Amino acid sequence: MRGFLIFLAVAVPVVLVSPFFWALVNMNFGTERVGYGHKTPDGRMVTQWATLGPKAPWPQWAVVPAGARLTVRSNFAAAPGHPAVGLGDLSGKTSARIVTQRYQAALEGGGWTVQVGRFDSLSGDLPPEPIHWCIVEGRKDGRVQRLSVAIHDQGTDGSLWWTAGPAKFPVGTTDRPCWTS
């Protein structure tokens, strides 16, 4: 026990002065600015700056669906060869079916071109579990925003993604209806 207390007496101050520890805290409870280096095709290095964490900015033009709570996870600024991109988690007690219907109606009402699809696959778990997602995507003026939610009626869990650049509709997504009844 004495050895453990000595370990704590040394470890706690070391952790508390570590910038890596505070970066992780900020990424989970505030914001942390991070630069990612990318090599361009001509060999130059460019930095794409990101703000990570639940207090990262979310653009006003990116629609948040009614009935779901958005927790922002990242906001990447545009850099040469890389468009601006953002991602957030969605959760809520409103059924995913209603949230996707409201989101689609909000996009169409705002003049977005909407595409809806269903993604079915298996998880990487052992044993594999089925995965069923409803994808609602809107495109307007070179911008793309995409809602992806698990297909069930117990609530809403999924993600919201946007980009101010080109994007392809997710590979493997079919134009089948998300819900059969």
> What count of other Cβ atoms lies within 10 Å of the Cβ of residue 139?
17
Indicate the residue type of 179. Answer: W
CA distance 139 to 114: 7
Tens digits of per-residue pLDDT, 119-171?
Answer: 999 989 899 999 889 999 999 999 999 999 998 768 888 999 999 988 888 88
Q: Does residue 77 have a pLDDT over 90?
A: yes
Indicate the SS3 state at residue 79: strand
pLDDT score of 14 = 66
Sign of CA dihedral 155, 172, 176, 137: positive
pLDDT tens digits along 23-37: 677 777 888 888 889
pLDDT of residue 119: 92
> Could you count the other beta carbons within 10 Å of the beta carbon of residue 127?
6
Residues 155/96, Cβ–Cβ less than 8 Å: yes
- Side chain identity at residue 42, one-letter code: D
SS3 125: coil
* pLDDT over threshold 70, residue 172: yes
Sign of the CA dihedral with 50 first, then 53, 56, and 60 last: positive
**Residue 133 DSSP SS3:** strand
What pTM value is reported for the model?
0.82
pLDDT of residue 173: 86
Q: What value does the mean pLDDT take over residues 57-81?
A: 92
Predicted pLDDT of residue 84: 95
pLDDT in tens, 4-23: 777 767 776 766 667 777 66
Q: Is the pLDDT of residue 41 over 90?
A: no
> Who has greater pLDDT, 41 or 145?
145
Domain residue ranges in the chain: 31-163
**Residues in contact with 51: Cβ distance below 8 Å, sequence separation at least 6, in sequence order:** 31, 32, 33, 34, 57, 74, 75, 77
Q: Compute the distance between CA of residue 52 and CA of residue 24 in angstroms, rounded to an integer.
A: 10
DSSP classification of residue 17: T
d(CA 174, CA 171): 9
